[in-house]
Structure 1
Amino acid sequence: MVSSELVFITGGVRSGKSAYAEKCLEGLASTMPKKHLVYVATGVAFDEEMKQRIARHQNDRAGQQWKTIEQSTDFPKVLTKVKVGDAILWDCVTTWLTNEFYDGYEKGVSCFQKEGCLERKFIAMQNTIRTLRKRSIPLVVVSNEVLDEPLSTSYEVSLYQQWLGRIHQWFVAEATTAIEMEYGQMHQWK
């Protein structure tokens, strides 16, 4: 039986998702006897803008005793890095999907080009989320809403949009709470 909270937060870029997610997780953890706030980060500093975004997020949490786990791909590895008493903020699903989508690119063939690769990664992620919840580890999961646009005519972009939509639908179905952020304002859908 699943016993922990799963809060899914999506919204546009710079809509206040991460700040809201941090406060949400702190609220969930406040009821725990031993609380350890864990930030699972998926971002990789490939360029100057991403370096600045990562630094801003780290500065926002400075002095608040957050433990950061850098896990850009292979989400099940999180299971070996957390324990009962932890409360997890995973930021963010869209970056994780991008990382997994292009996993293997440096060897000439990206995951999205391999039969069943994305499906295996999705199933592994689902199983990891369910395992964390069975361990009574509350989760707040952040993602970006990039599905307001029509499906792209590019095969690659369209495939990414389809996968992201599928993942978002799964998270909303599994979540105890589903929230959309826009302009710093929260709308609770579930």
Structure 2
Amino acid sequence: MVQGTVTIISGGARSGKSAYAERLLTDQSAGRLVYIASGIASDDEMKQRIDKHKEDRRDADWLTIEQPKNLHEALPFLQPGDLVLWDCLTTWLANELYEGYDEGTPCVHRPGCLEQKQKQLLHTIMQMNEVVAHLVIVSNEVLDEWVRYGEETEIYRQTIGTLHQRIVELADQAIEMDHGIPIIWKGEKL
């Protein structure tokens, strides 16, 4: 079976990751454009960010799949040859970290829960790679910020760091956005 290309694009907030990822896929000549959105409009700032992303994609013919958790549930909607943008890993992780919060048992406090979610995610990415032509994963760099963290934030930082390393291992390209400039850490220039 022919596998697609996996690209991970990371960087700080407002570094141009999403815009670069969109151009990367819209510049390709063939394939259905699919946007997997992990954001939840839980406050005014997030609603504005989501609205801006929708506006940015308006001129292209994107199929949007709202998938804030359980990324594997997006698999049945993908078709061979799709050009897929998943935005973003860090938002997905925050959603999964607190899955079950309303019932009093968030994932972050259930033994083995985050490990299972990481395993499922990596498996899902490999499954997507078997179907789609190009999967672009956007993620925020959150490891270089404050020196001291609370317990849950530290768990989040460690988990996203581990996921970044594992995804970069399986990715064909790893790109860091810095001030709107793509820095290629792995793979050929796109």
TM-score range, shorter chain: over 0.9
**Regions of 4+ moved over 6 Å:** none
Report whether the alignment pairs 1:57 with 2:66: no
What residue number does 1:5 align with?
Answer: 5
Assess if the C-alpha contact under 8 Å between 1:90 and 1:141 holds in 2.
yes
Assess if the C-alpha contact under 8 Å between 1:88 and 1:139 holds in 2.
yes
The TM-score, its normalising length taken from structure 2, stands at: 0.94
Give the root-mean-square deviation of aligned CA atoms: 1.3
| Equivalent of residue 37 in structure 1, options 33, 37, 46 | 33
**How far apart, CA to CA, are the structure 1 residues paired with 2:2 and 2:156?**
29
What residue number does 2:109 align with?
Answer: 113
The TM-score, its normalising length taken from structure 1, stands at: 0.94
Note closer, same or farther for the CA distance 1:47–1:11 as it changes in structure 2 (3 Å cut).
Answer: same
1:45 shift after superposition: 0.2
Assess if the C-alpha contact under 8 Å between 2:97 and 2:114 holds in 1.
yes
**How far apart, CA to CA, are the structure 1 residues paired with 2:43 and 2:149?**
27
**How far apart, CA to CA, are the structure 2 residues paired with 1:3 and 1:85?**
10
Which one is further off, 6-15 or 149-158? Answer: 149-158
**How far apart, CA to CA, are the structure 2 residues paired with 1:85 and 1:64?**
17
SS in 2 for 1:189: strand
Q: How many residues align?
A: 186
Identity %: 47
Report whether the alignment pairs 1:16 with 2:40: no
SS in 1 for 2:36: strand
Note closer, same or farther for the CA distance 1:162–1:2 as it changes in structure 2 (3 Å cut).
Answer: farther
Gaps of 5+ in 1: none
**How far apart, CA to CA, are the structure 2 residues paired with 1:37 and 1:84?**
12
